[in-house]
């Protein structure tokens, strides 16, 4: 496929046959044999990727190609093995801004999350850092930067996933070449059992009482007793979604609306939701169809405000306040209904519920260690047994019609006395003195 040719004065070049059948050469200049063989290895990998049509290089070759000096990279580009490098720098901050502004299909929350990742990337690498110079080593430095900032593990994984998304977009647009530096890094969110917290009904009711108005009371009730995602599903709820007659609520699901058949779900109009809904329904309408109208501003941080309300209720703020109220409702419902029914109401799968929602509560432990009914003392047990036996004897004495009778009374009763006629000494056996 390709070979090294020695030229005069220690110079070397690589000869290979291109995909169009022509012979081409890459001049390496003065280079020792071992270095030239390493160069040849990566050329083999690039040629193989070009001929197979895959286009993706292994991580080692992609890193080598990314760190290759511009002069040598230009020689590879002239023979058609790689695309020419752009003469302009792909500034990290400017590219992310252009990417976010161009994604009109994303929701407000998604754009907020991408901007948070942008802030962390710029903190780590700088506003004008060339994205082509960021490799796997730098990607690991980005992770360590977030660890030093004391971010939670799941938060770090989410930011790594968004960084991979940004670099993937740059690769698709041809701004950078090679493998994605964030490929292979952990991005799957794990369940953190230490942050699970079961919100009891008593605690939820205290929070509802401490809420400043009817709409806040309804938002807390929809989360704790309706199992709605807040703020996305709560703010998307309209009065047309509430079926008072049938006792059902159609819950729009912005999180899963891109999945066919998952744009909404139907949940019962639980008894705990009826009064908070009626209280808001009785308020003067502002002409909008939404149930919650006062807290729709994207700048309104419902989590921070909920923390203030929880403290006002005399409670400590529990981890992930909105999520744990929803998880508490799913745990509670699974005690009464089949899990497939509860998952249909809450809008998640059994695996997700098991990993991130269902909790072991204090009530489970209390039920498990509950003492059995006290046993009767020996004297009381004897007294109860004697009473039982006496009652049984009385029943036996009262029997008159269930006395034992002969199996065949009509035949046997005629032969109550059988006369003794004796036996003669003769018979089949020989006679004897008896």
CATH class of 194-366: mainly alpha
Q: What is the per-residue pLDDT for 237?
A: 95
Q: What is the rounded CA–CA span in Å between residue 135 and residue 271?
A: 56
The 10 Å Cβ neighbour count of residue 173 is: 12
Digit-by-digit pLDDT tens for the chain (434 residues) are 688 888 888 888 888 888 778 888 888 888 888 988 888 888 888 888 877 766 567 778 887 887 787 788 888 888 888 887 766 688 999 999 999 999 888 888 889 899 999 999 999 999 999 998 898 889 999 999 999 999 989 999 999 999 999 999 998 887 887 789 999 999 988 888 888 999 999 999 999 999 999 999 999 999 999 999 999 999 999 999 999 999 999 999 888 877 777 789 999 999 999 999 999 999 988 888 999 998 888 678 899 999 999 999 999 999 999 999 999 999 999 999 999 999 999 999 898 888 888 888 888 888 888 877 666 555 655 665 665 555 555 555 555 555 555 555 555 555 455 555 555 555 555 555 55
| pLDDT at position 17 | 84
Give the pLDDT score at 110.
Answer: 87
Q: What is the CA radius of gyration of the chain?
A: 41
CATH level 3 topology of 92-190: DNA polymerase; domain 1 (1.10.150)
The DSSP result for 16-52, as a single string, is EE-TTS-EEEEEEEE--HHHHHHHHHHHHHHHHHHHH
Nearest 5 degrees, angle CA 62-CA 64-CA 69? 120
CA 9 to chain CA centroid, nearest Å: 63
Q: What is the pLDDT at residue 421?
A: 52
Any idea what DSSP says for residue 91?
B
Residues in contact with 186: Cβ distance below 8 Å, sequence separation at least 6, in sequence order: 157, 160
Nearest-angstrom CA–CA distance, 89 and 170: 12
- pLDDT number for residue 82: 82
3-state secondary structure of 386: helix
Domain boundaries, the chain: 2-78, 92-190, 194-366
pLDDT for residue 241 = 96
Tokens of 258: 């891109």
Those residues whose C-beta lies under 8 Å from the C-beta of residue 159, and which sit 6 or more positions away, are 116, 117, 120, 146, 151
Q: Give me the pLDDT at residue 105, please.
A: 82
Output the six-digit token pair for 419: 């006369």
Using alpha carbons, select from 355, 360, 330, 357 the residue that is nearest to residue 189. Answer: 355
**pLDDT at res. 381:** 59
Q: How many Å apart are CA 388 and CA 390, to the nearest integer?
A: 5
pLDDT at residue number 431: 59
């Amino acid at each position: 496929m390709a070979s090294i040719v020695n030229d005069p004065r220690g110079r070397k070049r690589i000869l290979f046959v291109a995909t169009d059948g022509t012979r081409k050469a890459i001049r390496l200049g003065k280079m020792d044999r071992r270095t030239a063989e390493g160069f040849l290895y990566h050329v083999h990998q690039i040629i193989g990727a070009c001929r197979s049509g895959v286009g993706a290089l292994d991580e080692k070759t992609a890193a080598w190609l990314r760190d290759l000096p511009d002069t040598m990279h230009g020689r590879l580009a002239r023979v058609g093995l790689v695309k020419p490098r752009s003469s302009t720098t792909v500034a990290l901050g400017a590219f992310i801004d252009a990417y976010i502004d161009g994604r009109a299909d994303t929701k407000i929350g998604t754009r907020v999350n991408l901007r948070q990742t942008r802030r962390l990337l710029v903190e780590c690498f700088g506003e004008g850092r060339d994205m082509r110079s960021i490799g796997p080593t730098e990607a690991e430095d980005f992770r360590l930067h977030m660890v030093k900032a004391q971010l939670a593990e799941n938060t770090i994984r989410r930011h790594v996933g968004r960084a991979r998304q940004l670099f993937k977009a740059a690769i698709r647009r041809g701004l950078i070449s090679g493998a994605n530096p964030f490929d292979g890094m952990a991005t799957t969110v794990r369940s953190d059992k230490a942050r699970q917290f079961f919100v009891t009904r008593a605690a939820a009711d205290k929070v509802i009482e401490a809420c400043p108005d009817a709409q806040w009371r309804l938002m807390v009730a929809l989360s704790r007793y309706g199992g709605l995602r807040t703020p996305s599903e709560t703010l998307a709820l309209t009065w047309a979604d509430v079926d008072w007659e049938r006792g059902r609520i159609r819950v729009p699901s912005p999180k899963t609306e891109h999945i066919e058949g998952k744009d909404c779900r139907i949940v019962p109009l639980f008894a705990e939701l009826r009064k908070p809904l009626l209280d808001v329904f009785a308020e003067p309408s502002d002409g909008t169809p939404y149930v919650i109208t006062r807290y729709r501003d994207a700048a309104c941080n419902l989590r921070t405000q909920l923390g203030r309300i929880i403290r006002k209720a005399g409670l400590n703020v529990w981890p992930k306040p909105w999520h744990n109220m929803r998880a508490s409702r799913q745990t509670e419902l699974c005690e009464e209904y089949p899990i497939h029914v509860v998952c249909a109401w809450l809008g998640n799968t059994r695996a997700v519920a098991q990993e991130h929602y269902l909790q072991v509560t204090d009530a489970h432990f209390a039920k498990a260690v509950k003492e059995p009914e006290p046993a009767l003392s020996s004297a009381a047990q004897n007294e109860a047994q004697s009473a039982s036996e006496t009652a049984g004897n009385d029943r036996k004495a009262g029997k008159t019609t269930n006395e034992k009778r002969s199996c065949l009374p009509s035949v046997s009763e005629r032969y109550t006395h059988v006369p003794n006629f004796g036996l003669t000494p003769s018979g089949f056996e020989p006679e004897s003195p008896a």
